[in-house]
Amino acid sequence: MRQRILVSALSAGALAVVGLTTAVSSASGAVAAPTPYTAGKHAAKVCSAATAAHTAACMAVKLVNDKGVAPASTAPPATGLTPTGLRDAYKLNGLSAGGRTVAIVDAYGYPNLERDLGVYRSQFGLSACTTANGCLKIINQSGGTTLPRFNVGWAGEQALDVDAVSAAAPDAKIVVVQANSASFADLGAAVVTASKQPGVVAISNSYGGGDASDATYGSYYNHPGIAVTASTGDNGYQGGSYPASSSYTTAVGGTSLVAASNTRGWSESVWDGAGSGCSTYNTALSAASSFDTGCSKRAMADVSAAADPSKGGMAIYYPTSKTASTWAQFGGTSEAAPIIAAVYALSGNTAGYANALPYAHPGSLFDVTSGSNGTCPTTQWCNARTGWDGPTGLGTPNGAAAF
């Protein structure tokens, strides 16, 4: 990740975080005193980078102090986005998933997922979501109950994903499908298994690797009637990232979200880490043909949601080892993809290819018109503007009418 993303040190931002603490605490119902980070707070990747071809890395980042540590805490960081704040920012209050299920696909195992999800939901007053009450199901990539080996980075990703779905759609059921590895083949097999689970209307994929071809991997993600969301990446304008660059997924970019004194109560700009670009392999979405993407093939993103770890990053409860867990503040486009999957579940409308739906209803989104995620040869690929742009797509949810 570029230095300017990974080290967003808060010399000037220390006061900004204090202001965000106050604003988010009042607007989002944050309930805890600030986690004791020191002044050098910055973002760090949760997962190791993909080191082999056709493998993926998770797209979660967390806030750490100047020693590279997120100090253990028994309470959520007060600067973290809460379920109340998230639903208010995206006008999701009053919407119901109506028993629909969001599937989450990630790599490797997480033995204490159910326990940690219970801590998160209890902290924020959400109803219990357990295997016993039928709300939660955890399976391997083949649909069995023998789960893969533990990986602390990917387990942190899973914690973010289940917490984000819980925050956005508290009454949605959740199926977590754990792939044996981070290879495209294993993750793809897990997506296929997720698509076969009863009640699944959306599948969240908070990972990505290099651009790849639907001719090779597209069958894993081709599920008409199910919204398949994918994170665009955390390295800014870089070109295509698979599976977000697939013609079968909804590519989800990222924003910086802050409480504001305006009619909405929040404002958004481009998160400079949000991935964007054009696929060199995959077919452009026909639904996007009138939106001047500038790409001859598949353009990403389609839509976006909060992703900046310091401005809209969620307070989550995550594992630091196979046995221990704590609170921290997480972001990345890994935060955005499960939020959008949950909004699809709230809409109840995923007929056909769900990535076409927002293009038919752009006026039902909050358009993000400021900010940049890098330097690019075609301005809309890395700079926000009215209408479609690469980092944020068509915008962020304003209720579920665009989905």
Q: pLDDT-based confidence at 345, cuts 50/70/90?
A: very high
pLDDT for the residue numbered 299: 98
> Is 80 exceeded by the pLDDT of residue 215?
yes
Q: What angle do CA 377, 52, 233 make, to 5 degrees?
A: 40
pLDDT higher than threshold 90 for residue 237 = yes
7 Cα distance to chain centroid: 21
Phi/psi of residue 57, nearest 5 degrees:
-115, 150
Q: Measure the CA angle with vertex 129, ends 107 and 336; round to 5°.
A: 50
**Segment 383-389 long-range contacts (CB within 8 Å, at least 24 positions apart):** 383/270, 384/269, 384/270, 387/291, 387/292, 387/362, 388/288, 388/291, 388/292, 388/293, 388/299, 388/362, 389/270, 389/276
| Residue 131 burial (C-beta neighbours within 10 Å; 0-12, 13-18, 19+) | exposed
Q: pLDDT band at 10, cuts 50/70/90?
A: very low
Mean pLDDT in residue range 98-110: 98
R_g of the chain computed on alpha carbons: 19
Q: Taking 60 as the threshold, does the pLDDT of residue 2 lie above it? A: no
CA distances (Å), origin 147, targets 9, 71, 106, 107, 141: 39, 29, 12, 10, 9
Paired tokens of 193: 């298994």
Q: What is the mean pLDDT of the chain?
A: 92
pLDDT, average across residues 382-392: 98
Q: Which amino acid is at 199?
A: G
Position with higher pLDDT, 403 vs 37:
403
Q: What are the tens digits of pLDDT across the range 334-343?
A: 999 999 999 9
| Nearest in space to 200 (alpha carbons), one of 111, 285, 105 | 105
In whole angstroms, give the CA distance from residue 244 to residue 332: 14
SS3 299: strand
Distances (CA, A) of 397 to 67, 87, 160, 382: 36, 10, 19, 20
**Which one is predicted more confidently, 56 or 42?**
56
> Residue 38 pLDDT > 70, yes or no?
no
DSSP assigned state of 351: -
pLDDT at 4: 39
- What is the arithmetic mean of pLDDT over 39-43? 71
Q: Which residue, 292, 310, 309, 313, is CA-closest to 393?
A: 292
pLDDT category of residue 40 using cuts at 50, 70 and 90 = low
- 68 vs 176 pLDDT, higher one: 176
Q: Does the structure show a pLDDT above 50 at 36?
A: no
First to last CA, the chain: 31
pLDDT in tens, 295-305: 999 999 999 99
60 has pLDDT over 90:
yes
pLDDT in tens, 124-158: 999 999 999 999 999 999 999 999 999 999 999 99
26 confidence band (pLDDT: 50, 70, 90): very low
**What is each CA distance from 193 to 93, 162, 177, 188, in whole angstroms?**
31, 18, 8, 9
Query: Cα separation of 346 and 99, whole Å?
Result: 10
Alpha-carbon distance of 268 to 201, in angstroms, equals 28
What percent of the chain clears pLDDT 90, i.e. is strictly above it? 88
pLDDT at 282 over 60: yes
How distant is the alpha carbon of residue 134 from its chain centre? 24
Work out the pLDDT band at 168, boundaries 50, 70, 90: very high
pTM tops 0.85, yes or no? yes
pLDDT at 251 over 90: yes
Tokens of 88: 């208010």
> Cβ contacts of residue 223 below 8 Å, gap of 6+?
191, 195, 203, 248
Q: For residue 121, what pLDDT is reported?
A: 98
| Residue showing tokens 């949950």 | 342
